[in-house]
Every structure is written in structure tokens, then in C-alpha cells.
């Protein structure tokens, strides 16, 4: 009987120490629904078509490290928006690098000359 009580006490002490020693687990929250670090406004011109709006919605809905890159939109000069997104990457830096490469590949693929510059990270988390 004494060994049962000792085992119960040891198990309780171990459980208490594990709970108090892991505050990071409860602090880790989902990033889903958050815009994250916005660097410039994301605008979609009226009547725009393509996957950039969906890519931005997917970025906002992502629960892990993600990034959204796009060309800088100028209503006067540029008629096209090229974008790239990476969702649920291992790190924020990896997500930013991948999204930026994807956006730049789109500019090359469509052979566009963007008057307002190239791609930039619009938001990341």
C-alpha cells in the first residue's frame, strides 16, 4: 500500500512539473486568419482575374509561417498584377524567399515589363 501511495505522489509531482515547464506549448497559437506583418497595401483592381485574390485568401487562412509577394500596383502604369505565395513553410524567412521567387518567375513567364518595379513581400507571418 505504501508503494502505491509513493507511485501516485511521484506521478503527480511529475505531471505538475511537466505542465509548469512547458508554457511555450500553450503560447503557440495558430496564425490562421491573421494578416501578419503587412509591408504595403494589397490592392486588386476592379474586374481583375487570375489567382492572386485566391492566393491572398489562402495566405490569410494559413495557420503556419506564410508569405504573399506581389508586384507593386500602379493604376496609371501597370495593368497586370503578378503574385506569389507560400503557405505553411518551416520558417517565415523560407516562406518569404519562396513567395518572392514565385512572383519573379511569373514576371519572367509572362514576359512583362513592370513600370512600378519588380516584386515585393506584401505580407508575411
Q: How far apart are CA 21 and CA 117, in angstroms?
A: 49
* DSSP codes joined into one string, 21-39: H-HHHHH----TT---EE-
Domain range annotation of the chain = 29-124
Looking at residue 20, its pLDDT comes to 43
Q: Which three three-digit cell numbers place residue 58? A: 489562402
- The rounded average pLDDT for each run of 10 residues, N- to C-terminus, in the chain (125 residues) is 53 46 50 93 85 96 97 72 95 98 94 84 97
- Sign, CA torsion 3/7/10/16: negative
pTM of the model: 0.74
Amino acid at each position: 500500500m505504501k508503494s502505491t501511495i509513493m507511485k501516485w505522489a511521484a506521478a503527480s509531482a511529475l505531471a505538475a512539473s511537466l505542465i509548469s515547464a512547458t508554457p511555450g506549448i500553450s503560447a503557440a497559437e495558430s496564425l490562421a486568419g491573421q494578416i501578419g506583418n503587412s509591408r504595403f497595401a494589397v490592392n486588386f483592381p476592379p474586374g481583375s482575374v487570375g489567382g492572386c485574390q485566391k492566393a491572398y485568401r489562402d495566405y490569410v487562412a494559413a495557420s503556419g509561417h506564410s508569405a504573399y509577394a506581389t508586384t507593386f500596383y500602379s493604376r496609371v502604369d501597370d495593368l497586370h498584377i503578378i503574385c506569389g505565395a507560400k503557405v505553411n513553410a518551416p520558417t517565415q524567412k523560407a516562406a518569404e524567399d519562396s513567395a518572392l521567387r514565385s512572383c519573379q518567375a511569373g514576371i519572367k513567364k509572362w514576359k512583362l515589363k513592370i513600370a512600378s518595379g519588380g516584386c515585393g513581400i506584401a505580407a508575411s507571418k
